[in-house]
Amino acid sequence: AQSVTQPDIHITVSEGASLELRCNYSYGATPYLFWYVQSPGQGLQLLLKYFSGDTLVQGIKGFEAEFKRSQSSFNLRKPSVHWSDAAEYFCAVGPTTSGTYKYIFGTGTRLKVLA
Amino acid sequence: DTGVSQNPRHKITKRGQNVTFRCDPISEHNRLYWYRQTLGQGPEFLTYFQNEAQLEKSRLLSDRFSAERPKGSFSTLEIQRTEQGDSAMYLCASSPPVIGGYEQYFGPGTRLTVT
């Protein structure tokens, strides 16, 4: 079955520290991959996406993610976290095979940033 | 673009009542998704429209839920005979008519509380 796993429910980092949020997926083929951020009371905002090509993708707000086919992972990274990055982060997969249009989201990782 | 809009933003209803939510996608976006999100979870796919055609529905969508997109522009999601378990955030997302991978643009959501 297709699924997305975000193993860390909560992560706390100090401002200025580096960040890595983990995402693993199960899919029959290489899916389209996304990271979204959701601030309290807000909709989801796209941080970055991977469709094909270079496995290291750059996104907005200084985020990047690396697709590793062998590990079925698409981890999100940021070298220096800002207090405004505190939010919930969702990894998602989109369909590349015909027969479905369904996007699948992970359960999210809530990031807390200490001043 | 003014973004995806959803109305109302909040809805409180008594159990057994019917509710209807509206989503206005970004103009020129022919794809439209509805999701449900509960606390501590990622968005859960409900249904997908391409233009006015409803091409996919989640098996989790009970017959109390119905969605329409009559002219391929705005969409409505109706829940009949609401239950307390229907309390959630209902998110709408739209996507452009591109070939291959596409990202979703989310609205702010409608928060439903069933008392």
Cβ–Cβ contact B74 with A under 8 A? no
What pLDDT score was predicted for residue A27?
87
Are residues B65 and B83 in contact, defined by beta-carbon separation less than 8 angstroms? Answer: no
CA of B30, closest CA in chain A: separation in Å? Answer: 13
Region A96-100: mean pLDDT is 78
Q: Check: CB of residue A77 under 8 Å from CB of residue A65.
A: yes
Is the minimum CB–CB distance between B97 and chain A shorter than 8 Å?
no
Query: Structure tokens of A38?
Result: 């959701």
Residue of B31, B56, B107 with shortest CB distance to A100 = B56
Q: Which two tokens stand for residue A25?
A: 């997926």
Contact indicator for B13, B19 with CB cutoff of 8 Å: yes
pLDDT score of B98: 85
Which residues of chain B does A36 touch, with a Cβ-Cβ cutoff of 8 Å? 106
**CA A75 from chain center: how many Å?**
6
pLDDT attached to residue A30? 81
Confidence of residue B1 (pLDDT cuts 50, 70, 90): low
Tens-digit pLDDT profile for residues B55-106: 999 987 889 999 999 988 999 999 999 999 999 999 999 999 988 888 999 9
Least Cα distance to A109 among A18, A9, A1 occurs for: A9
Is A43 close to B40, i.e. CB distance below 8 A?
no
Residues B13-26 have a mean pLDDT of: 98
